[in-house]
Amino acid sequence: MFLIPSHILFFSTLSFGVMMAVSSSSWFTAWMGLELNLLSFIPLISSETNQFSSEASLKYFLTQALASAMILLASSAMVAGIGFSYYLLTIALLIKMGAAPFHMWFPMVAEGVGWLQFIILSTIQKIAPMALMSYTIEDSYWLILIVAAFSAMTGALGGINQMMLRKLMAYSSIGHTAWMLSTLLVSESLWFIYFGVYCITSSTIAIFFYYKQAYHLNHLLSGSMQNPPQNCIMFMSLLSLGGLPPFTGFIPKWITIQELTMTSYTFLTFFLIVGTLINLYYYLRLTLASFMMASPMLKWQFLEQNSTSKMTTLLFLLNLVGLLSSPMVYMMS
């Protein structure tokens, strides 16, 4: 994907749009950055080898165009001094990041894109709306609080019966969006830590599925996936994404829970923890299916050289960071 010159160009303009939106001093320039980001991402979605890419790009464009129009309307209402303008602006940003209950487009778009495009959709495309959201927290506090609790439960319950891996990861992203919104209520630095860890864990799992060309739960039971070291690494990465101690993904959730309880967000913390437990349930179902229901391997499959051994080592080291740093964080807290 990123070796094609046109894709390099569009990815560069996409990144520039994010930086423009984050560093803007007015809502109009922020809107321009969001539009540049939108128009740069649509060509990256389109693919001749994926028959669902056109449908996904159209759904993404219509949803983001609606949210952009709401941003323009809200910014005009701010100038006129209308009271509901901040709520309208917050709703538009929530639509852009795919937070519940404005999330219906996110799993459908995720189902029609490839794994590399999914990484951009679930990570980079959330930066600008999240950064702009920090400017509206004081004026739309209760709305963000309710949306964070709703997103935690939607991301958890929506992924239970999913057999498609991209939809499952999409609902997982919605659940993590709830945690990111919760960190914004506490501090921006905490959001930066949580978002960074989420990007690493989510991207490594998506890259693993990309190299294995796994799109359905049944693909994890095929012969090409029956590699015990890789299955173990995938198991650790999924549990790290779910926030199970002592893996890397547990550290930012641990800090977030501490900060939320210290600032009297007990109600929100309850929904976040319950949603995480449900997420861990279908992560365990995903990994146990790969371990327990594996078909017998032939002798030549054991001797076959693995082309992704470097990636497996990298994933192991990333998960090892949590195993080593969790006691240090506990001692410092």
Tokens representing residue 28 in the block: 């109009």
Q: What is the pLDDT of residue 287?
A: 73
Tokens representing residue 210 in the block: 């990309």
Domain locations along the chain: 5-332
Q: What is the pLDDT of residue 205?
A: 86
Convert 235-302 into a string of H (helix), E (strand) and C (coil).
HHHHHHHHCCCCCCCHHHHHHHHHHHHHCCCHHHHHHHHHHHHHHHHHHHHHHHHHHHCCCCCCHHHH
Q: What is the pTM of this model?
A: 0.88
Q: How many CA atoms lie within 13 A of 66 on its CB side?
A: 13
Q: What is the pLDDT of residue 330?
A: 45
* Residue closest to 158 by CA, chosen among 200, 204, 114, 101: 101
Q: What is the pLDDT of residue 194?
A: 94
Q: What is the pLDDT of residue 49?
A: 66
* Residue closest to 179 by CA, chosen among 199, 196, 194: 194
In which residue ranges of the chain is pLDDT below 70?
1-3, 48-50, 221-230, 289-333
Q: What is the pLDDT of residue 94?
A: 95
The DSSP annotation for 146-204 comes to HHHHHHHHHHHHHTTT--BHHHHHHHHHHHHHHHHHHHHHH-HHHHHHHHHHHHHHHHH
Residue type, 298: L
Q: What is the pLDDT of residue 316?
A: 58
Q: 146-190: per-residue pLDDT in tens? A: 999 999 999 999 988 888 889 999 999 999 999 999 999 998 899
Q: What is the pLDDT of residue 34?
A: 94
Question: Which positions ≥6 away from 209 have C-beta within 8 Å?
Answer: 115, 165, 215
